[in-house]
Structure 1
Amino acid sequence: MSPTQPPTTPEGATDNPGPWYKQFWPWFVLAIPAITIVWCIFMITVAVSSQGAMVNDDYYKEGLAINMELARDRLAADRGLAGAVQFEDNQIRMELDEAGKPVNFDFLILDMAHPTLEQQDRRLQLQRVGDGIYEASLPRPLEGRWYLELRGPTNDWRLKGEAALPASMPLKLAPAPQG
């Protein structure tokens, strides 16, 4: 064998595997950082375009507000307040009593919260039309599930309930159970 001849292998095989870009392992090694970069770009896009988490940094004030809510429920229970609300087409009719006797305020506030669609939430002012009877009008009949919260003009008590509308029977509102 002379020094200028390349070494030969049996049966005509060569030691030259071909260009690097035709091999498996370089592409496998390069794929890992490429996939990582694409995943990072995706996660940054999601983080920037999504709404921020609902983390409240003022938990002390929120705790005080929860205590106020519980106090409002307790006052309604102590007074024996109860209500029944009837939805008829575009009309809401509320009967409010305290220990079985009608209660008269100038007006009541009824907050209606939709469980999933915040833009459908409503706040209605019910006007007194009789002894312990209050009414309000809606622009159109409501459908679906609603959370109801009734409070007086001074916001010192509240009654809560849940409604599946349309409903044929009056819905009871009561103080939230103390647990």
Structure 2
Amino acid sequence: MSHSATVQSDEASRPWYRQPWLWFLILFPSMSVGYCIVAITLAITSENSMVVDDYSKQGRGINQSLTRDIRAAELGLTATVSQGTHELLLQLDARESGARHHDYLTLQLFHPTLSDKDRVLQLQPQGGGYYRAQVPGNIEGRWYLDLRDPANEWRIKGEVSLPSNAGFTLRPDETDRG
């Protein structure tokens, strides 16, 4: 008997669970089943913050937001923002000087995809229509901005990529004035 015949005979006499090709063929389907279990578990246990449960409530909120945007346009508000190392300096301009003076302003920074990175900054008055806020942590990247007065009567929205060495200006959306 030749050597190759002996090897084939030994391989054929091994039990099924000792065959290397069997395990090679079972490996890929079992990996895909394991991956599916992990993916389904993550889908069920993690929260998707971009999905809204109460659409009618969101719709009513949109109408209220449009009213605030229109009010900002009527007042002729613009906000020029410059960024320091760990602070923002905002200059609020308006047609009426009384519209520039508030106890504070609220600037919300919304990350486009990760709600846990969203920030709310309270800008303190510095006089002459200037407001300043300390910025905790890193705010590099793309952000949606929402600037409001304390009474929530007006709002200016915008979008910016930070850091912005030249600064940026927020203006009310004139298209909302229908």
Q: For 1:77, which of 73, 87, 100 is the aligned residue?
A: 73
Contact 2:75 2:96 in 1 (8 A): no
Aligned positions of 1:1-179 closer than 5 A: 46-47=39-40, 49-50=42-43, 51=46, 56-99=52-95, 101=97, 103-176=100-173, 177-178=175-176
What is the distance in 2 between the residues matched to 1:105 and 1:52? 37
Unaligned segments of structure 1, at least 5 residues: 1-34
CA RMSD between the two structures: 2.6
1:91-121 CA distance string (max 9 Å, x none): 1100001127471101000001111222221
Q: Aligned AA for 1:156?
A: E
Deviation at 1:130, TM superposition (A): 1.1
Q: Aligned AA for 2:72?
A: A
What is the distance in 2 between the residues matched to 1:121 and 1:80? 27
Residues 63 and 131 of structure 1: CA distance in aligned 2, closer, same or farther (over 3 Å): same
Contact 1:109 1:125 in 2 (8 A): yes
Deviation at 1:58, TM superposition (A): 3.0
Bigger Cα displacement from structure 2, 97-106 vs 47-56: 47-56
What is the distance in 2 between the residues matched to 1:57 and 1:117? 18
Deviation at 1:68, TM superposition (A): 0.5
1:15-38 CA distance string (max 9 Å, x none): xxxxxxxxxxxxxxxxxxxx9xxx
What percentage of residue pairs aligned between the two structures are identical?
41
Contact 1:89 1:140 in 2 (8 A): no
Unaligned segments of structure 2, at least 5 residues: 1-28
Q: Which has the higher helix share?
A: 2
Deviation at 1:47, TM superposition (A): 4.6
Q: Aligned AA for 1:67?
A: N
What is the distance in 2 between the residues matched to 1:134 and 1:87? 12
TM-score, length basis structure 1? 0.68
Residues 142 and 57 of structure 1: CA distance in aligned 2, closer, same or farther (over 3 Å): closer
What is the distance in 1 between the residues matched to 2:57 and 2:82? 36
Deviation at 1:72, TM superposition (A): 0.8
Q: Aligned AA for 1:61?
A: K
Give the count of matched residue pairs: 143
